[in-house]
Amino acid sequence: MKFLNSGKVKDVYDMGDDTLLFNFSNRVSAYDVKFQDEIPKKGKVLCKFAKFWFDELDIDNHFVKSHSDTEIIVKKMEMLPIECVVRGYFYGSLINRYKSGEIHLPDGTKTELAAKLLEPLFDPTTKSEHDVPITKDDAIKQNLVTLDEFEWLSQKSIEIYNKMYSIADNAGFILADLKLEFGKLDGKITLGDSIGPDEYRLWPKSSYSPGKIQEAFDKQLLRDWLTEHGYQKQFEDSRKNGQEPVAPAIPPEIIQKMTERYVAAYERTTGSSL
């Protein structure tokens, strides 16, 4: 087994055949900044969530089998160079992009914080250190995907979001948005990477209320803390000045709360204990 690379969360190994091993760590990142502090049990939650969603979704994917509590084996694929984001609520970066005129929403859409959109929105980005939203025309002009591939990804991503939304809803959660990645396996577009609370926003239905910041059962809890204390702006200013942002220490109470909510999200969604 050969080490290939370390991502923000996963360590990837070549198994020496047509498969890879994903090792999910307890590392955490937010606003494209990696933190020194770890979130206990996070890797185990992400690993088990990946298996759960790949098993639940009726679409070809690259999952082969679980290898341990923090490892899965997947088939090698040629990954497509876009991230397929589906948004169901007026939240996150969508707000500023709408206000700046960068993106338009259908007439009648409520633009109150955390309001539900009329229909799920396919809102893809590039795959880079700092993901950049792209339109259909952008994706085709940049030869990221063909027109047919873009249309397929849009339709399939929304179908997956709707299926996951229904499962989350039955567990007492709202799936606010979702990021998916696809690749090609034997010439066929196939769902890849992993799916878990680092790839979506999950809100408890019991406390959902438009017009305010929502209670997060994902890493949005860390993003909200960073924004509240001015770190998000510090990160942005550092990048504008050509400097690498420096991650602050995460308060112990935030770390504990994130662990509790990651575990609760898994157990309530799947009906299984961690």
In a domain, residue 230? The reply is yes
Same domain, 57 and 172: no
**Mean per-residue pLDDT, 213-240:** 93
Question: Across all residues in the chain, what is the average pLDDT?
Answer: 95
Cα dist. 268→10, 55, 69, 264, 273 in Å?
24, 17, 18, 6, 9
Q: pLDDT-derived band of residue 131, with 50, 70 and 90 as boundaries? A: confident
Residue 189, both tokens? 């577009």
- Beta strands 173-185 and 188-192: pairing type? antiparallel
Alpha carbon distance 263, 274 (integer Å)? 7
In this model, does residue 129 exceed pLDDT 80? Answer: no
Same domain, 71 and 166: no
pLDDT of 143-158, one tens digit each? 999 999 999 999 999 9
Q: Which of 75, 108, 124 is the last residue of a domain?
A: 75
Query: Containing H/E element for 242?
Result: none
Q: pLDDT-derived band of residue 11, with 50, 70 and 90 as boundaries? A: very high
pLDDT of 35-57, one tens digit each? 999 999 999 999 999 999 999 99
In a domain, residue 240? The reply is yes
Q: pLDDT-derived band of residue 78, with 50, 70 and 90 as boundaries? A: very high
Give the count of domains, the chain.
2
In this model, does residue 167 exceed pLDDT 80? Answer: yes
Same domain, 97 and 228: yes
**Mean per-residue pLDDT, 73-94:** 96
Which residues form the domain of 235? 84-269
Percent of the chain with pLDDT over 70: 100
Same domain, 118 and 137: yes
Name the one residue in this structure whose structure tokens are 């709202």: 174
Same domain, 116 and 252: yes
In this model, does residue 249 exceed pLDDT 70? Answer: yes
In a domain, residue 101? The reply is yes
Same domain, 118 and 231: yes
Same domain, 54 and 99: no
Q: Which of 47, 75, 103 is the last residue of a domain?
A: 75
Query: Containing H/E element for 189?
Result: strand 188-192
Q: pLDDT-derived band of residue 230, with 50, 70 and 90 as boundaries? A: very high
Residue 50: give its domain's CATH number.
3.30.200.20
In this model, does residue 175 exceed pLDDT 80? Answer: yes
Q: pLDDT-derived band of residue 32, with 50, 70 and 90 as boundaries? A: confident
pTM of this structure: 0.93
Same domain, 111 and 242: yes
Q: Which of 75, 104, 131 is the last residue of a domain?
A: 75
In a domain, residue 29? The reply is yes
**Mean per-residue pLDDT, 261-269:** 97
Same domain, 45 and 93: no
Residue 201: give its domain's CATH number.
3.30.470.20
* Burial track 7-43 (b if 16+ CB lie within 10 A, e otherwise): eebbbebeeeeeebbbbbbbbbebbebebebebebbb
In a domain, residue 103? The reply is yes
Same domain, 89 and 71: no
**Mean per-residue pLDDT, 190-209:** 96
In a domain, residue 274? The reply is no
**Mean per-residue pLDDT, 68-79:** 97
Same domain, 127 and 237: yes
Same domain, 92 and 56: no
In a domain, residue 39? The reply is yes
